[in-house]
Amino acid sequence: MANLPANRDSKVNHAQKSKGAPNHIKRKPPLFLSWLQLRKERARLLVAIAGISFADVLMFLQMGFRGALFSSAVEFHHSLNGEIVMLSSRYRSLISLDRFTERRLYQAAGVTGVESVSPIYLNFMQWRNPDNKEIWDIFVIGIQPDDQVMNLPDVQANHQQLREPDTALFNSGSRAEFGPIADWFHAREVISTEVNQRQIEVRGLFQLSPTFGINAYLITSDLNFLRMARFRQGGLIDVGVIKLQPNADVGIVLAALQSRLPNDVKVMTKADYAKAEVAFWNASTPVGYTFDLGVVIAFIVGAVIVYQILYSDVTDHLPEYATLKAIGFRDRYLLAVVFQESLILAALGFIPGTAIALGLYQITHVATLLPMAMNAGRVVFVFVLTTLMCSVAASMAVRKLQQADPADIF
């Protein structure tokens, strides 16, 4: 009996010595060991890949909708043929308009460096579907046909058509509820319908993507616009487009306009005009916040799934980890095994997740006509989020590894 403590001490001393000098032990690389552990439990591996893929698809979709929201919202802004835009001081967005007197626009024409100015009229009006006679709100754009104020090839090619009374161009990217206008036009049928109870004829097509606030566009002349919008007060416009002379400096002309014009209007570059629209949708509406929250929720869901997988794996192999520690493997080696498992899962789950997201992008584009498109920046960003998600899960799961005490196996 007296020899028992001595024998126990000798075993512990032997374990401590082997822990400090394991050079004689042939180690497997952590990555090799990580893959062997994952491959051993195939069902668990497939569940982990499915969970990560699901989280990636959610993140891709949320970012895709968010990107489609912003890119579609500013297509009109980027189509304007001018460097500077004039707006009412109370203007908020394309769907939250406020008008100003057109005298301000013509005052801007006298500023040095300004080549031309063009008014644009904007308003929602009631469109009658010529197929089923249903009424839908359509966003009507009124322009001076000869000004070439919009950089849309189909609009520029058909500007002579707009000079005729009660004619308009229809957006071929409109949603189905507005009628098969594009199909009828390509079939060379005469398309006649009502806008605000006034008979008009569609003479051409153009392309603008629908947005989260606008389902269809109609472009007509300023005179036709005012005939349809009898409720509009004369002399008021919604947007003024200012085109500069070829050698004019945008910053200098913009400063001159801001100093000369009263504070009932504001002028900004076309790029700033687009940024203001994006800021409105991102900050002043719940839409942008909802998509950002969706990405966060997808990240949390993925992290929880990976944590459960890694925690179960560590728990099942806890005696083996304790044995490795007893024969001299340091904690950082064992931690590397778990973290590399998480990175392997991140890579394996990201590949099918990206492929599924690409398919859903195409399906969504066909169904909604929103500009859903994958880009390299989004792919890289989601991969970084996936790696971070799995790393966070691994950092929580390795806490269980601290319980792998070598003394427990003796």
What is the per-residue pLDDT across 90-100, written as a single tens digit (0 to 9) for each?
999 998 889 99
- In the beta sheet, which residues pair with residue 319? none
Nearest to 75 by CA among 139, 162, 145: 139
pTM of the model as a whole = 0.80
Does the pLDDT value for residue 3 go beyond 80? no
What would the mean pLDDT of 175-190 be, rounded to a whole number?
A: 92
Q: Cβ(131)–Cβ(176) under 8 Å? A: no
* Confidence check: pLDDT of 180 > 60: yes
pLDDT at 310: 84
pLDDT in tens, 18-50: 444 344 444 555 556 677 777 777 888 888 899
Mean pLDDT (whole number) for 234-253? 94
Predicted pLDDT of residue 16: 42
Query: What mean pLDDT comes out for the span 128-147?
Result: 94
Give the other-Cβ count within 10 Å of 51's Cβ. 20
| Beta strands, E only, 129-224 | 135-143, 167-171, 191-195, 198-206, 217-221
The strand pairing partners of 237, in sequence order, are 100
**Residue 236: is its pLDDT beyond 90?**
yes
CB atoms within 10 A of CB 125: 20
